[in-house]
Homo-oligomer: A and B are copies of this chain.
Amino acid sequence: MYNFCNRLAVRSHLILAPHHSHPAPLPMESALFSSSPLSAFVPRSPPSLASRPLRLLSLPFSLLIHHSPPPRGGPPLLPRRLLRRFSPAAYADADAAAASAAESRSSGDRVVARPSSELRMGRPGGSGTGVAGDEKLRSLRELFARPDVAIDAYIIPSQDAHQSEFIAECFMRRAYLTGFTGSAGTAVVTKEKAALWTDGRYFLQAEKQLSPDWILMRSGNQGVPTTSEWLNDVLPAGCRIGIDPFLFSHDAAEELKEAISKKNHELILIKDFNLVDEIWKSRPKPPGKPTRVHDIKYAGVDVLSKLSSLRSVLVENGCTAIVISMLDEVAWLLNMRGSDVPNSPVFYSYLIVEISHATLFVDNNKVTPGVLDHLKSAGVELKPYEEILSEVESLAAKGAKLWLDTSCVNAAIVSIFRSACERHFTRLATKSRKQLNNGASSDLISIKSEDIRNGIPNGLYKVSPVAIAKAVKNKAEIEGMKNSHLRDAAALSEFWCWMEQEVKNNLTLTEVAVADKLFEFRKQQEGFIDTSFDTISGYGANGAVIHYKPTSDSCSFVGTDNLFLLDSGGQYVDGTTDITRTVHFGEPSAWQKECFTRVLQGHIALDQAIFPERMPGFVLDVLARSSLWKVGLDYRHGTGHGVGAALNVHEGPQSISFRFGNLTALQNGMIVSNEPGYYEDHSFGIRIENLLLVKEVDLPNSYGGIGFLGFEKLTFVPIQSKLIDTSLLSPMEIKWVNDYHSQVWEKVSPLVNVAVRDWLWRNTSHAACWTLKSRGKMRTQLMSTCLILSISMFARPIKQQSPPSYSFVLEPEKSYEALEVKKRVFLRINL
């Protein structure tokens, strides 16, 4: 309880500061409020608050939180989209930051690019709503007593019904209820208490945004209980704990159920209405923008073929149907895209694929005539989004054997199917086998399983087969990814060229302004739709915060004294990008260069890895860390996550991480990020990220007949050579940098204008080379490694005579080209 009171005190201090600079210490939380919702108006303590009714108290607090700091609109402007993001697939402790609320707009099939910063202003529970926190809690608690509710506590997670990383505003119930707008958090409300769990990146924000009615639970801090531990602690045994089963995956709900059963609590699935929605007066409408067809030239495989493959897998597994609830799986399978949530081109829907037909559950108004034709030709029917449950029930009635990935399909769907199964099992078992064998419904195909033949519904609870099918890209998807990466690289080259100048002239260039400018450059590229996540733009110490989220408090001006880390990505019609570069616009310290170089060595080692097929990604993780480990450094996130093709920037099932749990093998055609880093608290952050395509490699041997895989780079943007300490690199590593930069030059230089081309030349030529003094005043950068051994002797100042001739040094039998730029000659030797 000591820690607990302490925590309360800290929060009160922070919030009350303007009014009560020395708040009295608070007594035990359990005594703060009586158990009746009505008596909540008469708090017994703390003494400093007891003199005023909470209703009155809460209003000023609400105003304080939302109208006082930070002021809106003042310079520097901090669009919501700059909330930091971190990959859930690759990173250890991160949910992706999906806190920003807005819609990317597209009109019909026409894609219109608008900066997400512009679109994501309104926030649920934000300023100006005028509804006091306690009023919401009071309303919510009143519902507890309703006969059709009858619960003692309610859990409000951040999720939507599809486990999406980015969610629509209308589903931000936790944010509405608590006032806390961070992307990650779970609220729990009992009749007497209200608590919010969030993780380290949001402690400060939550302290500011939560009213005193809320207890802040700092997840990850020692001694902080989990939600279920807390419920088991504060509630008397045998309580009824309610959840909206749409907002929990089945597995998560089961885990919760198990955990609270220790105190004989019962988990109540309230599926007919969400309690927060009931009290949410001006709840935004669900997103209703039209969907579009994802062109077959980008999708590569038509919907019928995809459905046919899926149906084969269903039959192989003795199933007659599958419920698909992950939005990117629906979008991929149907070659459709939408704009219901920020950063991901998906739309709210469910899909049920049966052996003979398929049904898309989506709001009719999202389906244009073009999309309708597209769906019809693939034999996909439409039903309203809300009918998913009744359809699942009727599938059970028809004796379906239903594939459900319980790690992502929500508890509402799984539980309704299970109880339907139980009901029908009894009924069907009484019918004679013979009758069923002859008179099975037309939807049932003849498959091996006896259960199916007998028409008894049953569930197969297994990882969705669509996830892996989607992860292994086809030719057109790979082509689209490659093309979009080149356009993205052009935009980034333009951006960095601009930035290099701007940072020297503009002393008030903020991290947010930089991200906005990058958005402008990307927007000019063909087929650009939106960012693929909220840009992480971190200068100096901010770069060291892996989950960095610029706010007016923390946002810095970008200068020339420290490292600048920029992690960003774009959604294009043909692909999705994700790239991180770290640069220094002044003079990096030797230590920064060493750290950068070691991160680069890890990046190179993973990039160059060759490995047997059937190898899970975690086996390779050590390659990206070894160079850092050599000097006692490391980073606390994974090294790689999957990336969708014109879809979610984070997708499974593969990953490259120090966590050994994910046994998914890397496969030819998968795309992963390669993003080792190093973060020095309060100082700087470094990350170098490219996307890689997993590819079969042709080797001189094939031990045991096993195929070998390697990586092909998709990202082509210079790595700042200024930050590389070449003395740490091996000749192979030098060669890697030079080869990479040669490729960048070849691929990107035709896509940019002359000024940017000059920048690109300088940034792909300077690269990781020994810079040699020759006889004259000419400075030479050599681009090859097989010459390095011959050349490096000249790297030292030459005291006596110059070397016999250049012919020896440059190996004239190799061709090379020279370019004179500003009185300097650059030599590129083509090997």
- Residues in chain A within 8 A of chain B (CB atoms): 609-612, 616, 619-623, 626, 628-634, 636, 658, 660, 663, 699-704, 706, 708, 730-732, 788-790, 792-793, 800-801, 804
Whole-angstrom CA separation of A700 from B594 in the bound complex: 12
**Complex Cα gap A729–B324 (Å):** 52
* Chain B residues closer than 8 Å to A631, beta-carbon distance: 699-701
Report how far A131 CA is from B587 CA in the complex, Å.
Answer: 88
**Contact at B793–A632, with CB atoms within 8 Å?**
no
A630 / chain B contacts, CB cutoff of 8 Å: 610, 699
- Our pick among B629, B663, B708 for the contact of A610 (Cβ within 8 Å) is B629
Contact of A611 among B611, B629, B788 (CB under 8 A): B629
Could you pull out 28 A-B pairs where Cβ atoms are within 8 angstroms?
A: A610-B629, A611-B622, A612-B629, A612-B634, A619-B621, A623-B626, A628-B703, A631-B699, A631-B700, A632-B700, A632-B701, A632-B703, A633-B701, A633-B703, A634-B703, A636-B704, A660-B660, A730-B730, A730-B731, A730-B732, A731-B731, A788-B789, A789-B789, A789-B792, A789-B793, A793-B793, A800-B804, A801-B804
Closest to A608 in B: B630
Q: How far is the CB of A304 from chain B (nearest CB, A)?
A: 37
Task: Report yes or no: B708 in contact with A629, Cβ–Cβ below 8 A.
Answer: yes
* A733 and chain B: residue at smallest CB distance: B730
Residues of B within 8 A of A800 (CB): 804
Q: Are A632 and B708 in contact (CB under 8 A)?
A: yes
Copies in the complex: 2
Shortest distance from the beta carbon of A796 to any chain B beta carbon, whole Å? 9
- Top 9 nearest A-B pairs (CB, nearest first) are A632-B699, A632-B701, A789-B792, A634-B703, A610-B629, A730-B730, A633-B703, A610-B630, A632-B702
Q: Enumerate chain B residues within 8 angstroms of A706, measured Cβ to Cβ.
A: 634
Are B609 and A626 touching (Cβ within 8 A)? yes
Chain B residue numbers with a CB within 8 Å of A612 are 629, 634
Q: Which residue of B lies closest to A594 (CB)?
A: B700
Q: How far is the CA of A108 from the CA of B710 in the complex (A)?
A: 60
> Bound complex: CA of A390 vs CA of B438, how far in Å?
64
In angstroms, Cα B620 to Cα A621, docked, is 10
Nearest residue (CB) in B for A660 is B660
Q: List 13 other contacts, CB 8 Å, given A610-B629, A632-B702, A731-B731.
A: A609-B629, A610-B626, A610-B632, A619-B622, A628-B703, A633-B703, A636-B704, A660-B660, A730-B732, A789-B789, A789-B792, A790-B792, A793-B793
CA distance A622 to B666 in the complex (A): 15
Nearest to A801 among chain B residues (CB) is B804
Contacting residues, chain B, for A611 (C-beta < 8 A): 622, 629
In the assembled complex, how far is the CB of residue A530 from the closest CB belonging to chain B, in whole angstroms? 36
Distance (Å) between the CB of A426 and the closest chain B CB?
28
**Closest partner residue, chain B, to A731 (CB atom):** B730
Chain B residues contacting A660 (CB-CB under 8 Å) are 616, 660, 663
A619 to B639, CA, bound (A): 14
Whole-angstrom CA separation of A453 from B440 in the bound complex? 63
**Contacts A622-B620, A626-B609 given: A704-B634 contact, CB under 8 Å?**
yes
Q: How far is the CB of A328 from chain B (nearest CB, A)?
A: 29
Closest Cβ–Cβ distance, residue A801 to chain B (whole Å) = 8
**Which B residues are CB-close (under 8 A) to A790?**
792-793
Most buried by B among A702, A703, A731, A801: A703
With both chains docked as a complex, state the minimum distance between the C-beta of A577 and any C-beta of chain B, in angstroms.
29
When distances are taken between beta carbons in the complex, the residues of chain B under 8 Å from A620 are 622
A663 — nearest CB in chain B belongs to which residue? B660
A732 contacts across to B, CB distance below 8 A: 730
Residues of B within 8 A of A703 (CB): 628, 632-634
Chain B neighbourhood of A731, CB < 8 A: 730-731
CA–CA, A622 to B626, complex, Å?
11
Which residues of the other chain, B, contact A701 by a CB distance below 8 angstroms? 631-633
Least distance between A683 CB and chain B CB atoms (Å): 13
Chain B residues near A619 (CB-CB < 8 A): 621-622, 658
Q: Which chain B positions have C-beta within 8 A of A626?
A: 609-610, 623
Question: A616 contacts which chain B residues (CB < 8 A)?
Answer: 660
- Tell me the bound Cα distance from A789 to B787 in angstroms: 11
Residues of B with C-beta under 8 A to A663: 660
Q: CB-CB < 8 A to A621: which residues of B?
A: 619
Chain B residues within 8 Å of A789, by CB: 788-789, 792-793
Output the least CB separation between A282 and chain B (Å): 46
How far in angstroms is the closest Cβ of chain B from A482?
Answer: 25
Kindly state the separation between the CA atoms of A418 and B218 in the bound complex, as whole angstroms. 45
Q: Give every chain B residue within 8 A of A704 (Cβ-Cβ).
A: 634, 636
**A658 to chain B: closest residue by CB:** B619
Closest to A661 in B: B660
- Complex CA gap A628/B619 in Å reads 15
A708 to B701, CA, bound (A): 36
A616 to B632, CA, bound (A): 17
Return the chain B residue nearest A804 by Cβ.
B800
A704, B610: Cα distance in complex, Å: 31
Taken together as a complex, chains A and B put the C-alpha atoms of A10 and B742 apart, in Å, by 62
Complex Cα gap A731–B785 (Å): 13
**Shortest beta-carbon distance, A608 to chain B, in Å?**
8
Please indicate the chain B residues that have their CB under 8 angstroms from the CB of A793 in the complex: 789-790, 793
Q: Please, how many angstroms separate the alpha-carbon atoms of A792 and B626 in the complex? A: 28
Nearest Cβ in chain B — how far from A696, in angstroms? 11
Alpha-carbon separation in the docked complex, A620 to B658 (Å): 12
CA distance A702 to B700 in the complex (A): 41
Q: Which residue of B lies closest to A634 (CB)?
A: B703
Task: Give the residues in chain B near A708, CB-CB below 8 Å.
Answer: 629, 632
A679 to chain B: closest residue by CB: B703
B residues in contact with A633, CB < 8 Å: 701, 703
Report the Cα distance A660→B804, complex, angstroms: 56
Minimal Cβ-Cβ distance residue in B for A636: B704
Q: Which of A633, A636, A658, A702 has the most CB of B within 10 A?
A: A633
- Distance in angstroms between the alpha carbons of A619 and B625 in the assembled complex: 11
Residue from A636, A658, A789 with most neighbouring chain B CB atoms (10 Å): A789
Residue of B nearest to A620 (CB): B622
Residues of B within 8 A of A700 (CB): 631-632
Q: Which residue of B lies closest to A799 (CB)?
A: B808
Shortest Cβ distance from A764 into chain B, in angstroms? 24
Residue of B nearest to A795 (CB): B789
Question: Complex: how many Å from CA A783 to CA B468?
Answer: 52
**Nearest CB in chain B to that of A678: its residue:** B703
* Bound CA–CA A801/B790 (angstroms): 16
A807 to chain B, nearest CB (A): 11
Of the candidates B623, B632, B788, the one whose C-beta lies within 8 Å of that of A622 is B623
For A702, give the chain B residue with the smallest CB separation. Answer: B632
Q: With A and B bound together, what is the CA distance between A626 and B631 in angstroms? A: 21
Chain B nearest CB, measured from A363 CB (Å): 45
**A800 to chain B: closest residue by CB:** B804
Q: Give A790 to B788 CA distance when docked, in angstroms.
A: 10
Bound state CA distance, A700 and B628, in angstroms? Answer: 11
> Shortest CB–CB separation between residue A739 and chain B, in angstroms?
16
